[in-house]
Amino acid sequence: KSEDEQHTWDYVVSSYTPSLSALLRCSDMAENRSRLKPTMLLVTQPATPRSGLSPLKYVREESARLRALLPSQDNTFCEHDEARLETVLAAVRRHPWVHFACHGSQNLHDPTQSAFELFDGPLTLSALMGTVSENAELAFLSA
């Protein structure tokens, strides 16, 4: 890449809101939440045990830094073999913030089958759609 080349991803961080009503609900609840410290689910998968998925070099360091910043006992940390489908789905319901540091897969024919690659299998978007916390605020994807 030459120094003169510029790309959108050099300047933009992608964000997503599923609907205007979801955005408004977050805005309406922001005043009430400003006094509360949100909790977070951190899911890290440094080495997915399936062929074709290479180890993610900096995921353990990313996890350590987040744990240092957010040491609260109210947070949930699922790392490597702890990042299993059932555990993660149960924890997603309890936290307004989620952070996934893992491989992702995209399904062009059925986007709801795109997934986060966890220790024991893919966590699909369709599985997540019905499990999100009622006070969901932030999802950070580091893939």
pLDDT digits (tens, 9 = 90+) for 14-61: 666 777 777 777 666 655 555 567 899 999 999 988 888 899 999 999
Lowest-confidence pick of 59-63, 100-104, 107-111, 127-131 = 127-131
- Tokens 């997934």, located at residue: 115
Say what the pTM is: 0.74
Tokens found for residue 7: 């790309």
- Identify the band that residue 121 occupies on the pLDDT scale cut at 50, 70 and 90: very high
pLDDT-based confidence at residue 5 (cuts at 50, 70, 90)? confident
Burial 101-117 (b: 16+ CB within 10 A, else e): bbbeeeeeeeeeeebbb
Amino acid at position 49, single letter: P
pLDDT of residue 26: 67
CB 106 within 8 A of CB 114: yes
pLDDT of residue 129: 84
Strand order of the sheet with strand 104-105? 104-105, 115-118, 121-124
Determine the pLDDT at residue 1: 52
**pLDDT score, position 31:** 57
Output the pLDDT for position 54. Answer: 92
Of the candidate ranges 15-19, 81-85, 118-122, the one whose mean pLDDT is the lowest: 15-19
